[in-house]
Each structure stands twice: as structure tokens, then as C-alpha cells.
Homo-oligomer: A and B are copies of this chain.
């Protein structure tokens, strides 16, 4: 008798047939005697359809209204899965919007969960009912509907699991697990049976679109293992958990890449204190996360500043940087999206020297120019020409012996 939170992604609930298959899977867990809480995403394509309706009406549609708009996608899935479960004789009910008592801050389209009152879920379990939770959303203190950003249903799943101290959060998706790299780019990619939270965090933040970053942060903080697996097959997937003796100390666990980067270059900034802070606080004010940063070519009293943001923040980034540039009398702002970030990740890097140098050499052997570099304890990332990214991934995968 375990307490399991199961989260099903968009393709897993993408059709009536798929929803039936999910109901079957929930039945199996219930038949084993497990208590189950389910979190669902919108049916695949639905979120994009709704976003497009909003964008058809306004270039930058209001955040509050967009959240209320797209939150309906998960509400539909939750109701449909509840209907499918009830049809199988399994007691179930959906929890949507304010019913979930998932409280967030008021940052529309990118809200963060502040608290989860577990009582609606506990009440469901006590009543022998499967609570089917609309993922990706919550309400702020004023009762407005908020959404957690792309992939936010993963965060809902893990946060609910943490609030309930569940034994595991199973995340069902259209991939079989975490691979050493994107199998579409590199045929030698292998599924990993286990991976540490830290490695997964680096991979999630680097564009391995398998799990949302914050869901892994929450899982790590509360020690909830994630079992990432396919909703189309019954084979085990990848366990994301705490580092322990059962993990081999692999130097490089995986290769990630991210083609959604935009390189922003601000020319001729006055080279004096406070200027860079002004740029980044302007971006932070509108909730834009900046990734790689380099300040280059100080020429007398002027310097250039280069950094990367994600493509979804392109329009707002242009506004902010051009306004700041005018205000401080700087030069042109250039935005380039012909770049991509390729990264190596591995917990074993901490205890092995020369890993970064090997990466640079492998890229140089392919005549790939490195535009920016950033590193963490267990990761090295390089910004390169977007057209060369697959070549880079393949050579790193082979060079680090992941095949």
C-alpha cells in the first residue's frame, strides 16, 4: 500500500483512447491497493490552440486573461479522466482552480507555488476517491487564476507529492525516460536507469524538455523520488533521486542542448559601475531570466555586453534593452537567434579534472567555434552556431563514451 502521485502529460491524455488507457493504468494501481492522486496536463495541442486564440487578438495579450484562458485546457482533461475512471467503477473526482487550494504568487503566466493545503487530497484518499487534479495552475491571494509556465504540470505533480509526503511521483510522458542525449540527434543515445536530482536539474535547465526545472528542485528539496516513464509502455523509465552508493560515479552522464536561446548584444555601454545592474534589474522586473553573460571588449569608456535569454522572452527583452540603452546613451541592441547551447552534465565531474578542456577539444576537432562558456560544479555549457548543434552533440556523445 503506497501513496503514489501520477502525473500524465499532454500526449498521455491527448485523445479519448489515451484517456481510457490512463484510466486503465490508474485502475491497476488501485487494484494493488495503492492510494493514487492524479495530476493531468491539457490534451496535447490544446494549450497551443488556446495561446494562439489569445495572440490572434493582441500582440501581447494580458497575462491575467491568458492564464484564465489556458487553464481551461487542464480543467477539460481532469473532468474527462474523472469521467473515464467513474465509468470503470473507480471512485474519482476532479479538482480544478480554487478547489485544489494550490496558492501561488501573482506573477501571471509564470507563477510560483507558495503553499499547498493537502486537505482536499487527504479527504479524497480518506473517501477512497482518486483526486484528479488540473495541473499547471493555481490561484493567487486575490483569487485570480494563475499558471506555472510551460511544463508546470510536472511542478504541480511533484508539489502535490511533497505536500502529501507521497512515496513516489510517477511522471508519465511520451518518452521512455532520460537519455544520455536526444535520441533524435544521436542514434547511440541510451536510456539511463537512474540519475541524481543535481544532474537532472542541470539537464532540465539546459533544455532537455523532459521535466520542468522547478519540479526537480521541489523533488530534491522534499526528497520525493520521481519515476519518469512512458505512458505508452509498461517498461520502467528513469528514477530521479538522491545521490547514493548505487550511483556509479560517471564523469559525464548526459549531453543536453537548447535551441531556444537568443543571444543579446548591447553595444557601447558606458563602462562605469551600476550600468550592468540596471540592464539586468530591468529584465528581472518583467520576470525574464538571463542565462549566459559575458562583458567584452572594453574600448576606453565603452564596453559591449552579451547575454542569452529564451526565445519566449524575445519581445519583452527587446523592449527593456532598447529602453535602457536609450536612457543610458548606449549603442545598438542586437538580437540573434541563430545560436544554440550544448552542455555536458555529470555528478562525477566534481572529482575529475580536465573535463571542460576535453569538451573544448572535442568541439575544436569539429571546427565548431565557441561563442560563450558557462560552468557549474557538474556542468559545462557552450554557445555555438545553431546549424552545428547536432554535429556537436554527436561528437561529445562519442567522445565521452556514452554510446
The answer to the question of A72 belonging to the interface, with a C-beta cut-off of 8 Å to chain B, is yes
Q: Is the CB of A84 within 8 A of B68?
A: no
The answer to the question of A79 belonging to the interface, with a C-beta cut-off of 8 Å to chain B, is yes
Known A-B contacts A79-B65, A93-B64; the reply to A57 vs B87 at CB < 8 A is: yes
Q: List 27 A-B contacts (CB under 8 A).
A: A19-B57, A20-B57, A50-B76, A53-B76, A54-B79, A54-B80, A54-B83, A57-B80, A57-B83, A57-B84, A61-B83, A61-B87, A62-B82, A62-B86, A65-B80, A65-B86, A65-B93, A66-B83, A68-B96, A69-B75, A69-B80, A69-B83, A71-B75, A72-B76, A97-B97, A97-B98, A98-B98
Q: How far is the CB of A11 from chain B (nearest CB, A)?
A: 17
- State the oligomeric state as a number of copies: 2
Please, how many angstroms separate the alpha-carbon atoms of A145 and B66 in the complex? 21
Please, how many angstroms separate the alpha-carbon atoms of A71 and B72 in the complex? 9
Q: How far is the CB of A42 from chain B (nearest CB, A)?
A: 10
The answer to the question of A371 belonging to the interface, with a C-beta cut-off of 8 Å to chain B, is no
The answer to the question of A392 belonging to the interface, with a C-beta cut-off of 8 Å to chain B, is no
Which chain B residues border A66 with CB–CB below 8 Å? 79, 83
Please, how many angstroms separate the alpha-carbon atoms of A78 and B54 in the complex? 11
Interface size on A, residues (CB 8 A): 37
The answer to the question of A1 belonging to the interface, with a C-beta cut-off of 8 Å to chain B, is no
State the main secondary structure of chain A at its contact with B: helix
Which chain B residues border A76 with CB–CB below 8 Å? 50, 53, 69, 72
Q: Is the CB of B65 within 8 A of A83?
A: yes
Question: For residue A79, which residue of chain B has the nearest CB?
Answer: B69
The answer to the question of A127 belonging to the interface, with a C-beta cut-off of 8 Å to chain B, is no
Q: Is the CB of A16 within 8 A of B57?
A: yes
Please, how many angstroms separate the alpha-carbon atoms of A97 and B50 in the complex? 18
Q: Which residues of chain A (34-73) have a CB below 8 Å from chain B? A: 50, 53-54, 56-58, 61-62, 64-66, 68-69, 71-72
The answer to the question of A343 belonging to the interface, with a C-beta cut-off of 8 Å to chain B, is no
Q: Is the CB of A65 within 8 A of B50?
A: no
Question: For residue A17, which residue of chain B has the nearest CB?
Answer: B56
Which chain B residues border A82 with CB–CB below 8 Å? 62, 65
Q: How far is the CB of A214 from chain B (nearest CB, A)?
A: 24
Question: For residue A55, which residue of chain B has the nearest CB?
Answer: B83
Question: For residue A49, which residue of chain B has the nearest CB?
Answer: B76
Which chain B residues border A83 with CB–CB below 8 Å? 54, 57-58, 61-62, 65-66, 69
Q: Is the CB of A84 within 8 A of B69?
A: no
The answer to the question of A230 belonging to the interface, with a C-beta cut-off of 8 Å to chain B, is no
Which chain B residues border A99 with CB–CB below 8 Å? 143-144
Please, how many angstroms separate the alpha-carbon atoms of A54 and B73 in the complex? 14
Which chain B residues border A71 with CB–CB below 8 Å? 75
The answer to the question of A253 belonging to the interface, with a C-beta cut-off of 8 Å to chain B, is no
Q: Which residues of chain A (139-158) have a CB below 8 Å from chain B? A: 143-145
Which chain B residues border A87 with CB–CB below 8 Å? 57-58, 61
Please, how many angstroms separate the alpha-carbon atoms of A86 and B64 in the complex? 11
The answer to the question of A181 belonging to the interface, with a C-beta cut-off of 8 Å to chain B, is no
List of 6 A-B pairs having minimum Cβ-Cβ separation, nearest first: A69-B79, A72-B72, A58-B87, A65-B79, A68-B79, A61-B83
